[in-house]
Each structure stands twice: as C-alpha cells, then as structure tokens.
Amino acid sequence: MPLRVHLVAGFNGGSGRTLTAALLAYGFHLQARRTLLVRQTYAGSVSAIDPIGATLPLPCCELSLPKPYELPADLTAGLATTIHDADGRFMTALTDLATAEIGADGDVVVDLCCHERACNAATIRYGAVILVPVRASVLEIDWAVRSFSHILDSQRYRDTPVPTLLAAIAPDSERAGQTAFLSGMLRDFDPEREFVPDEPREVIVEVPFLDGASLTALLIERPIWQDPTLFERCRIFAAAVALHADACMTVPTEDADDL
Ligand SMILES: Nc1ncnc2c1ncn2[C@@H]1O[C@H](COP(=O)(O)OP(=O)(O)OP(=O)(O)O)[C@@H](O)[C@H]1O
Ligand SMILES: [Mg+2]
C-alpha cells in the first residue's frame, strides 16, 4: 500500500486540528501501521510547546509551509492564485520526510496550520482523506461547515475528489445533539446536494473526546496514551477514517485537473 496522507484542516484557530491529528495518528499506530505525525508550521507562526509530540509514542515532526513564491506585482489575481494552488513544495518535502522516517508505505497524519495556503490544490491532491474538526458550539459548527464546503468546492472540477470528512469533537452526552445540528447545517449549506450526501452522517466521524483531566495531563506533558478506553476509541476512529481513505485511494496523475 502506498503512503497514505491524512490531512487535518480548518481555517480557524482552536478548531481541534492538533488534537484530532494526534488521536488519529495514535489510532493508526495502534493498528500496527508505521505512522508519522507532522505538524505544519509557517514562517512567523508562534513556536508553541508541543506537549503531544513530547508524549505520543510515535514519531512526530514539524515541517514548515514554504514561503510564497515572489510574483511580479502586476500579475493578475487569478494567475497568482493558480500559481499558489499549484505550489507542491510542501507535499514534496512531506513525502521525502515521511519516506525517511517511516518508509514508503505508512500513514502520515498532517496537522495543517490555518494559513490560507496550507490546504492548496497541490496539497489536497495527494491526500487520502481530509478531516475538518468540528467542536460543539454553534459558532464552531458554523466555522467548520464553511471550511468543509470551501475544501469541497475547491475540488469541484476534479474527477475523483479526495474524501472530506467532518471530525466531530463532543462529549458523549452532546454527540447526538451536535450531529443533528451539524446535519441540518450541512443540508442548509448544500440544498442541491452537490457535495453533501443525502445522509450527512456519512461524512461525519467521531473523534475520541478527552475530558478535562486528560487535557490537563497532556498540557503538563504527562502521557495519557495508556488508557484502555482511549485505546479503543482511537482505534475505532482510525478504522472509520481508513474506510473512507481506502475507498478512494488513487495514485494522483500529472494531469492538471485542479488548476
Ligand atoms: N478530542 C478532543 N477532546 C476534548 N477537547 C478537545 C478535543 N480536541 C480539541 N479539543 C479542545 O479544543 C481546544 C483546541 O484544540 P487544538 O489545540 O487541537 O486546536 P487547533 O486547531 O490545533 O488550535 P491552534 O489554532 O491553536 O493550532 C483544546 O485545547 C481542547 O480544549
Ligand atoms: Mg494546533
């Protein structure tokens, strides 16, 4: 099986990308897959402490989003967007890094930053799956649905869009309500069902929820990963994501269908 690249994306800060990526990577690790977790940084991003990378029992790296190409000032906005969309330098560097760390057939989970160039067409086309985390409040659901729609819309003209999922983060007591609300919002955003299936639940996967004690433990770099319940939930989460990824696993071709 070739390298599977799982992209965790979203355009607003604090949406749950880092924890979702870590929990997914741990789930693959538990399935005895060679797994690498990569946190994407960008020039000028604050270098935060990484309590997850410090405790997670699998390789974790940082990889920077390259600086944008310097383009002539009189270039049209459309052409500039096309060039930035075709910028595949991050994916090339990611593939090299992953091959060196885990070989050519493992799972890579990428915690994309929320920079507008993070999830460009050249990055998306090499993804096996894209996850957009969604937290429980109305505002956060609204943001996540916007990110989700944007990612799907950017693939509108591709023959084989990369499966894009909403990764729902909520305590068990709030899951049903969150799913119902999220499904309603997806229907409202896409009344013609261009992107969203008739049953929106098909694009929702459940992220294991960490309680306050686990979040605090992580923050002070105390490992939480041996908890059997978390084990099982991460395994189920990774299996659900892999089902979608494997269903659409294609080798990207060189045709410029996303330019
Ligand atoms: N699986 C989860 N269980 C419980 N709470 C979560 C979970 N995922 C995210 N959260 C909550 O959301 C907050 C933000 O999560 P996280 O740091 O993963 O988001 P992010 O999108 O990576 O943020 P940033 O923009 O700072 O990179 C966490 O501090 C936590 O309170
Ligand atoms: Mg983060």
| pLDDT tens-digit readout, 64-115 | 999 999 999 999 999 999 999 999 999 999 999 999 999 999 999 999 998 8
Q: pLDDT tens digit string along 246-257? A: 765 544 444 444
Rounded Cα gap, residues 137 and 17, in angstroms: 16
pLDDT band at 197 (very low <50, low <70, confident <90, very high): confident
Please give the mean pLDDT across all residues of the chain.
Answer: 90
> Where in the chain are the domains?
11-247
**From the CB of 18, is ligand 1 less than 6 Å away?**
yes
Beta carbon of 209 within 6 Å of any ligand 1 atom: yes
Distance CA 211, CA 208 (A): 10
The confidence score (pLDDT) of residue 160 equals 87
pLDDT digits 0-9 by tens, 131-162: 999 999 999 999 999 999 999 988 888 888 99
Short-list 15, 39, 6, CA closest to 241: 6
CA 28 → CA 17, 18, 166, 236, distances in Å?
17, 16, 18, 10
For domain 11-247, which architecture applies?
Answer: 3-Layer(aba) Sandwich (3.40)
Mutation probe of ligand 1 site: the residue of 19, 65, 173 with most atoms within 8 A of C-beta: 19
Which is more confidently placed, 205 or 45?
205
CA 162 / ligand 1 centre spacing (Å): 24
Q: Is 184 in the pocket of ligand 1 (CB under 6 A)?
A: no
Whole-angstrom CA distances from 119 to 48, 109, 250 are 21, 14, 19
What distances in angstroms separate CA 111 from CA 60, 75, 184, 188, one per listed residue?
Answer: 11, 31, 27, 28
Q: Distance from the CA of 235 to the center of ligand 2, in angstroms?
A: 22
Has residue 188 got a pLDDT over 50? yes
**What gap in Å lies between CA 127 and CA 3, rounded to an integer?**
10
Q: What is the pLDDT of residue 248?
A: 56
- Looking up tokens 């896409």 gives 190
For 192-233, the DSSP string reads: T-SSS-SSGGGGEEEPPPP-HHHHHHHHTT---TT-HHHHHH
The secondary element (H helix, E strand) that includes residue 16 is: none
Q: Which ligand is nearest to the CA of 170?
A: 1
Q: For a pLDDT cut of 70, what percent of the chain falls above it?
A: 93
What DSSP assignment string belongs to 165-176? EEEE---HHHHH
Rounded Cα–Cα distance for residues 147 and 131 (Å): 10
Q: Give the separation between CA 16 and CA 104, rounded to whole angstroms.
A: 28
pLDDT at position 158: 85
The predicted pLDDT at position 116 comes to 84
